[in-house]
A and B are shown apart, each in its own frame.
Chain A
Amino acid sequence: MVSIQGRKKKSVQQWKYMSDNMSDTEEKKVPTRASAMERVQLGLAKRRRKEERFRKLSFSAVILSLSFLVLLFASIISNGWPAFQRTDILLDIHFDSEVLDVDSLVKANYGKLVKQSMRELLPDVTSRHNKREMYRLVSSGASYELQKMVVADPTLIGKTVSLWLPADDLPDMLMKGKINRNLPETERPISDKQIQWIDQLIAQGRLEQHFNTTFFQAGDSREPELAGIRGALTGSMLTLFVTLLLSFPVAVAAAVYLEEFAPKNRWTDLVEVNINNLAAVPSIVFGLLGLAVFLNFFGMPRSSPLVGGVVLSLMTLPTIIIASRASLKAVPPSIREAALGVGASKMQTVFHHVIPLAMPGMMTGTIIGLSQALGETAPLLMIGMVAFIVDIPGSMTDPSTVLPVQIFLWADSPERAFVERTSAAILVLLMFLISMNGLAIYLRRKFEQRW
């Protein structure tokens, strides 16, 4: 206390002293002014330096975040790129009528055909152990492909055809340089003999990398070389379709009511606050809600895009409502007044004038909400969409999974070849997202009105 009072006294004294000085002669004033200017000059340089520092700092923040982005993309692309190539093996398959002589073409032993042609390809392999190692070079998917071919075209039986069939993931990884062949034999998953055979096959031109069409045509698989993204992509599209169908009309209707019709009272305030709160609720909560209401109460099918879409639309509703309300607010009142002035009803005003002008903003909000929904896994965990699903979903009620879940499942697989599939799936997800955001920008540019 004492010290504060003391300081106060001192400053008052100083002030008196200064004002005494000021009221003195002109001569004394000039140097004071000059020194003030000097001080400003001095301060100016300091302020400039400060500004310069701040500019550099904020610029480096931008550079830093950009470089993180570049790093992320570079690592994903460099990891994921090889997944678009797959190693195939050229085999001369003889569709032996004896092997295929069973009552059902589906159940015939197609693996035997593959093994036969492998034996012909590498005739000097004789011992049982070595043969097993040799068979491992071909993917188990080869026999499924033969099965599909024969079922589609039974006239193949008895013919010999040269076919490119999928190789196992180990030769694939070796050809892509993911397995270090200089390591001692016990430390790599592929044996010396297998490497020798692979080199032999490469020299014969029977082992080549081709564009991986399977990745875009197949559903999930346990074998990395047979795994594809199409099931998850279809699932994501179906789910988002349900989300869009449900959330857009409901959200727009809610926003229009709240913004244009609702009276301002405690109830609408409460609704507003709750909508804002809902937008911040963690997504897993919506999953629990979905489990309790849609699965247990309504008995909707587990793991289906229908339930996924409904849950995600609950999650995106607040986002779209908030965005829609903001864009409705941005429509100038003069538009409404003009419409009402020429005799339009309130509803006509809203539907003929306000909504069309607010639509670009609403659509942008919707697409942002949907892109958020596209990346969700947590709520889907609760309703059983984190699952292994091979068949590509054909309808809203088929079991299916979505892109981010597929990424999660592959990232957790022990097989090393799934690393590149994971990155490739991330690339597909990013492409999906970028195109959705691109659409949002396009729509905004196209319909946007400036006042």
Chain B
Amino acid sequence: MNLMNEKGVKGKKMKKTLLIAACMLLASDVWASGRDYVSIVGSSTVYPFATTVAERFGKTSSFKTPKIESTGSGGGMKLFCAGTAIDTPDITNASRRIKKSEYDSCMKNGVKEIVEVKVGYDGIVLANSKKAPRFKLSKKDIYLALARTVPDPKGSKTFVDNPYTTWKEVNASLPDTKIEVMGPPPTSGTRDAFDELAMQGGCKTFPWVKAMKKTDKEQFKAVCQALREDGPYIEAGENDNLIIQKLEANPDSLGIFGFSYLDQNADKIQGSIVDGVEPSFDKISDGSYSISRSLYMYVKKSHVGVVPGLEEYLAEFTSDRAWGEEGYLAEKGLIPMPEEERTQVGKAVNELIPLQM
């Protein structure tokens, strides 16, 4: 009796698991067959702009609204380059250019034709609370304040552990407050760009370090891009709103984030002047504010014509009313490219010219 019942329950469970497994296998054929919306992944910096376009596109066309995941530039590339199957994303956004290694992995997985679309610029700002005076920094100051190792202050051509604790020690014209900077973690594209543009830029102001770039590139990168880990640089997570709240609470600290957050919170915080240029819409657009980067989107050509709405989404993104000087993306904080560059990129998108690397 007992045994029979045990078998009965076991049998029931087995049947159920088998049934579920069968359903899954059956369904996987069904749902792999097609997708009627555009699937986008990638950078959290491009996310606000991509979503704005997607929403307008969904509401003003007969296509479904594209789905946009915020995975970070690197995570997006990984998903994008996984293959050409229909369940892989059609577009990945990036706050930096595609790396050679990523391009190679794309090629290896059969993603042979990638169309690169530059969508605009973004400035990285260092900002502090309006309760404190505005900082006037140079890239050299930024580097000296935040690098893990700095050139020996005594003048010898060696690196020493960063000895600076206050801004005044870095540069006599700066206030006598503790160095305290909140910024993104290493997984963030903003951090990549900051390391490359601001830190490396400041590093190069030492001629003998600059010379090192030619002789020992690895070493040069290591010393110029490593941020200090002894306290003054605080990794504050990817949430830029949180950094802004902390800046308000602590007027002595600085924060690092994208220009659109400064734009939206101009009543609370002020952007520091870097190398004599204030971060503003116009200054970033014309290239005089130096810590700015290009934003990209990469399109899988083999999905064009297969996924409904993909071409039309691209057309909407590259239309003047979206990325133009007075377009709706500018209102969201995207810094548009100059007109000639826009026509040039727009033309390349129209003809879907694949990227060669």
A residues adjacent to B (C-beta < 8 A): 106-107, 132, 140, 144, 147, 179-180, 183, 186-189, 221-223, 246, 249-250, 253, 256-257, 261, 294-295, 298-303, 345-347, 384, 386-391, 397, 399, 409, 411-416, 419
Q: Would A140 and B56 count as touching, CB distance under 8 A?
A: yes
Complex Cα distance A375/B54, Å?
27
Residue on A with the closest CB to B53? A222
Asked whether B357 is an interface residue with its Cβ less than 8 Å from the other chain, the reply is: no
Inter-chain contacts of B263 with A (CB < 8 A): 414
Asked whether B9 is an interface residue with its Cβ less than 8 Å from the other chain, the reply is: yes
Inter-chain contacts of B58 with A (CB < 8 A): 390-391
Q: Would A299 and B60 count as touching, CB distance under 8 A?
A: no
Q: Would A389 and B60 count as touching, CB distance under 8 A?
A: no
Asked whether B138 is an interface residue with its Cβ less than 8 Å from the other chain, the reply is: no
Q: Which of A187, A250, A256, A411 contacts B267 (CB 8 A)?
A: A187
Closest 3 CB pairs of A and B: A390-B65, A388-B68, A387-B69
Q: Which of A390, A415, A419 contacts B55 (CB 8 A)?
A: A390
Complex Cα distance A261/B1, Å?
12
Interface residues contributed by chain B, number (CB under 8 Å): 58
Given contacts A140-B56, A300-B28, 13 further A-B contacts (CB under 8 A): A180-B267, A183-B267, A189-B267, A253-B13, A253-B16, A388-B50, A388-B67, A388-B70, A409-B70, A412-B238, A412-B240, A412-B241, A414-B260
Given A414-B260, A416-B264, decide whether A303 and B60 contact each other with a Cβ distance below 8 A: no
Residue on B with the closest CB to A398? B37
Inter-chain contacts of A390 with B (CB < 8 A): 54-55, 58-59, 65
Asked whether B5 is an interface residue with its Cβ less than 8 Å from the other chain, the reply is: yes
B residues adjacent to A (C-beta < 8 A): 1-2, 5-6, 8-10, 12-13, 16, 20, 24-25, 27-28, 31-32, 37, 39, 41, 44, 47-48, 50-52, 54-56, 58-62, 64-65, 67-70, 87, 130, 238-241, 258, 260-261, 263-267, 326, 328, 332-333
Q: Would A298 and B25 count as touching, CB distance under 8 A?
A: yes
Given A261-B9, A299-B32, A303-B69, decide whether A189 and B24 contact each other with a Cβ distance below 8 A: no
Complex Cα distance A261/B28, Å?
35
Inter-chain contacts of B130 with A (CB < 8 A): 187
Complex Cα distance A261/B8, Å?
11
Q: Would B2 and A346 count as touching, CB distance under 8 A?
A: yes
Q: Would B62 and A386 count as touching, CB distance under 8 A?
A: no
Complex Cα distance A222/B58, Å?
12
A-B contact pairs, 24 of them (CB 8 A): A106-B62, A183-B267, A187-B130, A188-B266, A222-B52, A256-B9, A257-B10, A299-B87, A300-B24, A301-B31, A345-B5, A347-B8, A384-B69, A386-B70, A387-B67, A388-B47, A390-B55, A391-B58, A399-B37, A411-B241, A412-B44, A414-B48, A414-B240, A415-B264
